[in-house]
Chains A and B, each alone.
Chain A
Amino acid sequence: MALGKDVIICNDVHKWYGDFHVLQGVTTTVKEGEVVVIIGPSGSGKSTWIRTINRLEEHQQGQIIVDGTELNNDLRNIQEIRREVGMVFQQFNLFPHLTVLQNITLAPIHVRKWSRERAEEVAMEQLEKVKIPEQANKYPGQLSGGQQQRVAIARALAMQPKIMLFDEPTSALDPEMIKEVLDAMQELAESGMTIMAVTHEMGFARSVANRVIFFDRGNIVEEKPPTEFFANPEEERTRLFLSQILHH
């Protein structure tokens, strides 16, 4: 698949929590249609980094440019970028007081200002894609974890974003539900969506990703296409990490 122009540009991004230097000058670019998988040890700052891209976390130094708009304190910029960037969380974070359909149509109606009919039509399309249209009128609490995560994906997609961020979307799921979520993600990747995903599903990384990023101690250690990445990692730290997770 041909990759397009740069849609995410991180340039020397730094962030501190008090004295703790979480992001230590992250620099990379993601092209349109690219699927990037981020792996790395716990506490290395993967979540923090991916969350700076839609400004759930503020960065304190450096530049992040998403779809041509720089993230700064301007609220309008942030709103605009959040409309174009969908996010899926480890804990699903569905709205428990709304039905599945309402969860999905909420943002299109209130942010995109679509009519209810149009929003519901798009919502149903998305639910078809993740294969749970029959759950539309249930509440999130009535669904299994895998179904909830697929609703969360549908909710993000209903806004028709240009970029999707996933932060460990399968790590809160029972093994038998992981596949259904990964399938939905793979389908999304094949449709040409730009994806950044933090995940430890190496199978997914191997078969779907265009690039794997190894992240450690607040910075990118190594980034390569998956075949190369898994076959001959350059850095000692990468090798150590891979040997740890692959031998489990």
Chain B
Amino acid sequence: MATITQSKESTSLSGPRFQLNISQWLRTTVFSSLGNTIFFIVLIVLNIIVIRTGFNLDPVGLSYNLAPNGVPTGLGNFVLTITNGALLTSIILLLWIIGATLVTYGVATRRWIGPSQWLKDSLYTGPFGALTTLLISLLIVFAVRGILSWAVFGAEFRTDAESVALLRPVTPGAIWGIVGANKKLFAVGRYPFEFLWRVWLSLGIVLALGAASVFAWNFGSPLKKYRQILVWSWLASIPAILFILRGFGPETSAFGLVPTTLWGGLLLTIVISVIGIVVSFPIGVLMALGRRSTTRGVPYTWAWGAGLLLIFWGLFGFPSEPTTFNIPLIFRDPPVWTFTLSPISYAIFQIVVVVGIFWAVGHYLQGNMIKTFSIVYIEVIRGVPLITVLFMAQIMLPIFLPKEIEIDNLLRVVVGVILFSAAYLAENVRGGLQAIPKGQYEAAVAVGLNGAQTTRLIILPQALRLVIPALVGQCISLFKDTSLVAIVGLFDLLKIAQTVVAQQEWLGLQRETFAFVALVYWVFAFSMSRASQRIEKNLGVGKY
């Protein structure tokens, strides 16, 4: 387009013809309506305000890391110059004017060189475009300047408490010492120093598996056959790492017990989210399948499972001493029917009641127990906030279990997180299941696959692929939601941050601490999101 115009001009005329009717141009753009005029004035005023502010921005004082003994270095001087608001604003204004001139020249002569064409098409699309470009560039540059000045140029990186105390009043930027000095707290909480190597060992296992996976998934076929082994290794690594972290035996031995009350920081956050996600996944998938189940009655495995559970409960658990019942009956005097059951007969009574209910519902009502259970579970959990589930896990779990069994606080929280996450997962997976056409089920059973094989080989692989984005979204939100466990007394990353800023020598450094914590959360969440995109690409979602 540009070249055509140019060649036509050069044949008819010698040299560029300067032709610019400014008043007509203004009439057709800026003054074409009252609204446009007002918008134009607003833009100009905004620009003036921002430019004035820019000129008044102070250069950011040099970091004491850059200027030891107060004597600025070459780099320090450079930073001092470019953070000067007046200079920065002038540079941007100058660049903007150069751009505007190029474009005006192009418009006037109808001659375009590559860059000016690009400028006109993207940044100087008209009077409004040009002014918006100026405004936004100024704002972006000021924001970047501000962030860099605070986080880097004017920041103090020393970590020892004395120099920090000395320099705090004069350092203009962030005091990152609070992060460095508390890095162990942020990373693992109160995990004992002498056992820290176990955390490193765990990290080593994860990194080794990660490296192996990168190789197996990125470099060709010879490693392909190890992929399945790797998946299982990942799964096996979770209990193994938990075991390494928790340890056993006396505190003096190398693998001494580290109670979970001492776990904290990023370690705890990761432990809760990983277990939460991994364990809730199969539960969620089962619930999703259960919600679509058409099986009527009660599968016998369920009834027997419940029965066995109750036998265990009856023999070893809850009714450890004879239980007395007071049943009010109206026509009796005294109006209460009192009887006492020995633990064994109480357990038998419970079993009979539960199995009886299952049997009656299954055989007489012909109800779809699996579906009902799944729906009730999913809807109840989705109807309450995670906080409530966590409190319930704290308060209710102990009621269901015998008094002698003291359950770990972390375990209770993890169970709560799993129950919560499973319900949401189930709904996500169900969305995928619904998208699979009926023909897929029919084709699968027509070649002779049974129900379980159809689900495992045909339906789930397709359904799960479809919902990868939703599942990763859920992982990300679960990861961030772990910050709620602070409320039930666990010291996750965010709670650790709160305790760190409450320390005497670092008092008042909230900005640094929470910026750091936010960055950590972001890095993890963003990696998950990128990983999801890679998985989607590898599995060819939406390709077939």
Contact = CB atoms under 8 A, between A and B. Distances in A.
A83 interface: yes
B2 interface: no
Contact of A93 (B440, B448, B544): B440
B439 A106 contact: no
Given A93-B440, A95-B458, A86 B446 contact: yes
A86 B447 contact: yes
B457 A110 contact: yes
A97 B458 CA distance: 8
B442 A93 contact: yes
Q: Which of B437, B453, B457, B540 has the largest count of A CB atoms less than 10 A from its CB?
A: B457
Q: Which of B443, B445, B461 has the largest count of A CB atoms less than 10 A from its CB?
A: B443
B317 to A, nearest CB: 37
B449 interface: yes
B448 A82 contact: yes
A110 B439 contact: no
B447 A139 contact: no
B340 to A, nearest CB: 48
Contact of A89 (B439, B450, B457): B439
A171 interface: no
B462 interface: yes
A4 interface: no
Contact of B448 (A96, A107, A139): A107
Interface string A85-99: 111010101111100
A152 B447 CA distance: 10
Interface string A2-40: 000000000000000000000000000000000000000
Given A139-B540, A142-B544, 18 more contacts: A54-B446, A56-B445, A83-B448, A86-B447, A87-B443, A93-B440, A95-B462, A97-B461, A97-B462, A106-B447, A106-B449, A107-B448, A110-B453, A110-B457, A111-B449, A139-B544, A152-B443, A159-B447
Interface residues on A, range: 20 to 34
A213 interface: no
A140 B445 CA distance: 19
Interface residues of B, number: 21
Given A139-B544, A141-B543, A97 B447 contact: no
A96 B449 contact: no
Contacts of B453: 110-111
B440 A95 contact: yes
A75 B448 CA distance: 11
A95 B448 contact: no
Contacts of B444: 95
B244 to A, nearest CB: 37
A119 interface: no
9 contacts: A54-B446, A56-B442, A56-B445, A56-B446, A86-B447, A89-B442, A95-B443, A97-B461, A110-B457
B465 interface: yes
B443 A94 contact: yes
Interface in B102-159: none
